[in-house]
Structure 1
């Protein structure tokens, strides 16, 4: 399966590179002809051609009979063509220009959908990406945009679907906070872990992650020696989540542990199966550099390791030599 995933990535990259030609629209087409051809393209799911014709229609006939409809359908064409940023921009423009339009709720809905799918491209549909471990920025945007739709247009035909997606997004955001809290637990940052757990308990009531938040609070408070807070959190956990995995025969069992990286996570620098969200102040580039160095150290044969003694008791590398920094090793001595 993993080989198929890598082949799929290569095919999609080549397809995207080959499909980036600019589409020219015949300048002799009338307003009606442009709109009709755009409708045919939309029906045939040829969204790139449809968006080009809808943009041409709007620019050539800004006050025509199809101008407003073209702006609305352009949002849909961008969304279906997997251009979320263009779709959101077009939706914002339509909402700004036509706030009283009878179908403005549709623009709000498409804007929310575009953010909802912003991190769910073609790769995410086929590769084992855990959405709860990725940057939640798009999820927050989508939640807020669906919230605008449901609050301003509660009777909209799109409101029920928006509410259902909001439930999913709220669960996703809560799960992300739990992943971050576990990250802090593994690194013994217990105050930060307790704060994250408490944040989930206070702000995501009703989500499946509340029990995990309480368990994190118990473990973090125990490690900090705050027995009263740990006891209160444990009693709350037992009362509300008696079947939580951290409870065995009524006793709390800490769950924080180090996690081995899979070969797929290493090969993709944790793009796939990523278990460590970025902590505050950290950068992805710095993490990647450290991982490359760690992987290089792990690949060094034992006989080349400092302090290794062969069959005759001889040391392969002189321990008296000054130790080189990881940056020096990684850059082959270019940087001391």
Structure 2
């Protein structure tokens, strides 16, 4: 019986040795899944930082991820999740960065690194913003994420850049409305165009699109024969941006047919103009 047991034990040792040897020659097999004990979390964290310093971001991400996997809800797991989010953002793995960042915020919204992780979420959305001819969903999400930085962590060092990212995203959203509005103008669908320019004036008044939006309203209303609204749009444009080429063009259009800028205080344009800087 003892001999049989000894033989069985020897076979187990040989099988384990063969399996480990095979794993060493196969880089696609993760030996941590074979029941072997992984490094302590503090060691993994240090290894992750060392890989980051060496520029090996993929390996750094694996180290940080393994901390969270093997030591969930620990302080090291929390720190590893911060670094995993950062590394994935730096790698351009933006969807993964968003996934880990959102998981962090769900678990640790009041932690000392929460402002930074929320900022990384905003940056990850911001990196996905495309030109105005394409869908601007990422711009909207950038605004929401960065506004959360401002609202929830007003004393953090990330507020100034969060505000800058919001301004850029709002410019993009306004630009998208202008792009669609110009499309309708080219087809002489003036009511549809006006609805888009109106969105810019009312919702995005302090963006880099506002001057053109007011000038396009002058064109569209004038083309429809609604001269009073065209005059109001030109007057608001001239009062706020007197040196603008858009105003010069609008003024010329009105004067060419004997009209001039004149504001109707009851117009929606006049009411919306109160949101403009300098008004």
Task: Give TM class, smaller chain.
Answer: 0.7 to 0.9
* Counterpart mapping for 1:290-329 below 5 A: none
Q: Which residue number in structure 1 is paired with residue 39 of structure 2?
A: 30
SS in 1 for 2:165: helix
User: Matched residues in 1 for 2:250 and 2:219: separation?
Assistant: 17
1:200-242 deviation per Cα after TM superposition (whole angstroms, max 9, x unaligned): 1112222231111111111111222222222222222233333
Q: Which residue number in structure 1 is paired with residue 277 of structure 2?
A: none
Does 2:114 match 1:104? yes
Q: How many residues align?
A: 222
Contact 1:25 1:53 in 2 (8 A): no
Question: Shift of the alpha carbon at 1:248?
Answer: 4.2
User: Matched residues in 2 for 1:23 and 1:52: separation?
Assistant: 14
Q: Which residue number in structure 1 is paired with residue 166 of structure 2?
A: 166
Q: Normalized per residue, which structure has more helix?
A: 2
Instruction: Assess, with a 3 A threshold, how the Cα gap between structure 1 residues 205 and 156 changes in structure 2: closer, same or farther.
Output: same
**Structure 1: segments with no counterpart, 5+ residues:** 1-21, 121-130, 254-336
The one of 62, 66, 72 equivalent to 1:62 is 72
Question: Shift of the alpha carbon at 1:155?
Answer: 0.1
Instruction: Assess, with a 3 A threshold, how the Cα gap between structure 1 residues 181 and 23 changes in structure 2: closer, same or farther.
Output: farther
* Counterpart mapping for 1:282-293 below 5 A: none
The one of 28, 43, 62 equivalent to 1:52 is 62
Instruction: Assess, with a 3 A threshold, how the Cα gap between structure 1 residues 249 and 147 changes in structure 2: closer, same or farther.
Output: closer
Q: Which structure: larger Rg? A: 2
With normalisation by structure 2, the TM-score equals: 0.73
**Structure 2: segments with no counterpart, 5+ residues:** 1-26, 255-279
1:275-333 deviation per Cα after TM superposition (whole angstroms, max 9, x unaligned): xxxxxxxxxxxxxxxxxxxxxxxxxxxxxxxxxxxxxxxxxxxxxxxxxxxxxxxxxxx
Q: Which residue number in structure 2 is paired with residue 77 of structure 1?
A: 87
User: Matched residues in 1 for 2:224 and 2:28: separation?
Assistant: 62
Q: Which residue number in structure 2 is paired with residue 252 of structure 1?
A: 253
CA-based RMSD: 2.2
User: Matched residues in 1 for 2:221 and 2:28: separation?
Assistant: 61
1:231-286 deviation per Cα after TM superposition (whole angstroms, max 9, x unaligned): 22222223333333342493128xxxxxxxxxxxxxxxxxxxxxxxxxxxxxxxxx
Does 2:210 match 1:200? no
* Counterpart mapping for 1:207-286 below 5 A: 207-246=207-246, 247-248=248-249, 250-252=251-253
Contact 1:23 1:49 in 2 (8 A): no
Identify which range, 40-49 or 185-194, moves more after superposition: 40-49
Contact 1:25 1:52 in 2 (8 A): no
* Counterpart mapping for 1:139-154 below 5 A: 139-154=139-154
User: Matched residues in 1 for 2:107 and 2:250: separation?
Assistant: 62
With normalisation by structure 1, the TM-score equals: 0.61
